[in-house]
Amino acid sequence: MQKQALISVSDKSNLIEFAQFLSQKGYKILSTGGTFKHLQDNGIEVTEVKDVTGFPEILDGRVKSLHPAIHGGIMARRSDENHMNTLKEYNINPIDIVVVNLYPFFGKMNTGLSEPEMIEFIDIGGPSMLRSSAKNFYDVTVVTDSNDYAKVQEEIETAGTTNLETRKLLAGKVFNLTSAYDAAISTYLLNEDFPQFLESSYEKVMDLRYGENPHQQAAYYVDKTKNGAMKDFEYLQGKELSFNNIRDMDLAYKVVSEFEEITCCAVKHSTPCGVAIGDSVDEAYQKAYECDPVSIFGGIIAFNAEVNQSTAEELNKIFLEIIIAPAFTEEALEVFKSKKNLRIIKVKNPVSDKVSYAKVDGGLLVQSVDNQFSTDLKVVTEKQPTEKQMVDLVFAQKIVKWVKSNAIVVATNGQAFGIGGGQTNRIWAAQQAIERAKKVQTEELVLASDAFFPFRDSVEFAAENGITALIQPGGSVKDQESIDACNERGIPMVFTGMRHFLH
């Protein structure tokens, strides 16, 4: 009995060479639709599936391979006498190799197609053939990734067939693909942030050298259903990215994306160490550098505007790991070439996450992202903040939500001079931020807190060390003590009513 291979693919990469090989090895090739025409046009002898089923494609091609003559040939266990007798009874020939990849539903998401158009990219016959083949991997070789053609070809060339271990691996890849494919469709149709079952459609785009530490393995995956700043970025130059690099890039770009003004953010060890706005990228960078000229060394720098030559020349004066921005001038890129290891990343998509995840042992916490700021700002003290103080307070508030709790940001004139975070109590975070700020700036400093002050000690310390205004969510049972402390010292304080913990 002649061996058979069924081929039906949307991605036709390297297909002709593989089909020619199978044909040369005596496989009868079956195919459908566009793949049939592609093979035929390239001189490969191919039989159309309708000639096997005796039934034409119907419903605009929605039904063509869903037939016992196809699935029977795939699903029959070769070692089961009853199965093989059934094939003989109905004149069905076994199908030994199935080469199928799916309608590009992934690629059509976020492209603006209408719902009826998207629905037509939901593949039915493809997943059915893949699942049938994968279930019967003891007898059937199923290939869904063109990168696996070479391995299958090598084994057939060497041993006449593929080995069981390979068939099992390829079957696993099928269910890995179809689960992500179905999850993407579910995500599109449900459009819910918290469905009953958490969908996952992430594709590996790179293996990383290691994780947070050299003894940890790591890889980077991107969401196949949504766009985002850390997806499809353009790698313009530099060493390969690490696990920690990508996390810091994500944080730095999210910070600058909070602002409409030209903004620069420096990040070190997943913590902003300098943030500033300016009338130009040059000014924004110089002001961010002044915030913490020590920690910025070896850091990640993000901009929300195009980086020009003069800024590139300044950036090149210190050691940096990464510079990330939505655009770079050709002159700037030429300057960066002198530092071949410096990674230059061009972002193509805006920040767009709607939910965030935190893995725990045996579970996953899912929440909507913290993408809001209070518009109901209330001055709770006798003294009102000046217009400049209010501008600085709002600036500091936009940064404090990106600092690990407990978080304090001390700022003035569009510069975050003091950033204190990750402390187990708020007074320590306040002390850390204020002491850092005072090393480089002592006048007109304001302070933002990510959560309420549980005691008046933080307010008293701030007042004693030159802080001229404060902004915090409020909500403590001892709010009045903090208000009284401000009133006693003639310092304005603003309540936002919105906490911004980042654990």
Instruction: For residues 164 and 130, give the distance between their C-alpha atoms in angstroms, rounded to a whole number.
Output: 17
Is position 71 annotated as part of the catalytic site?
no
Among 15, 8, 23, CA closest to 147: 15
Question: 178 vs 62, 244, 479, CA distance in Å?
Answer: 18, 30, 54
Integer Cα distance of 403 and 503 in angstroms: 9
Q: Report the C-alpha gap between 142 and 161 in whole angstroms.
A: 12
Backbone angles phi, psi at 46, to 5 degrees: -145, 145
135 included as an active-site residue: yes
Active-site hit among 269, 337, 348, 478: 269
- Of 3, 25, 50, 135, the catalytic one is 135
For residues 353 and 365, what is the distance between their CA atoms, to the nearest angstrom?
15
| Coil, strand or helix at 483 | helix
Q: For residue 97, which amino acid is it?
A: I
The helices-and-strands tally (H runs, E runs) of the chain is 18, 21
Q: Report yes or no: 404 and 451 within 8 Å, Cβ to Cβ.
A: no
Give which of 51, 15, 13, 48 is closest to 32, Cα–Cα.
48
Q: 479: alpha, beta or left, given left = phi > 0 and alpha = psi -120 to 50? A: alpha
CA dist 77 to 96, 128, 136, 174, Å? 11, 17, 7, 19
Which value, to the nearest 10 degrees, does the dihedral of the CA atoms of residues 109, 113, 115, 119 take? -60
Strand partners, 206: 220
Report whether 502 contacts 402 (CB < 8 A). yes
Cis check: omega of the bond before 406, within 30 degrees of 0: yes
Q: Within 13 Å and on the Cβ side, how many CA atoms surround 86?
A: 15
If you write DSSP's letter for every residue of 284-344 in order, what string do you get?
Answer: HHHHHHHH-TTTTTT-EEEESS-B-HHHHHHHTTS--SEEEES-B-HHHHHHHTTSTTSEE
Helices (H), 121-206: 125-135, 149-159, 164-190
Chain-centre distance of CA 409, in angstroms? Answer: 28
What's 63's DSSP letter?
B
Tokens of 207: 């293996």
Beta pairing class for 355-360 and 363-368? antiparallel
Distance, CA of 463 to CA of 449 (rounded, Å): 14
- The partner residues of 58 in beta bridges, in order of sequence, read 63
Closest CA to 154 of 18, 337, 253: 18
Catalytic residues: 135, 269
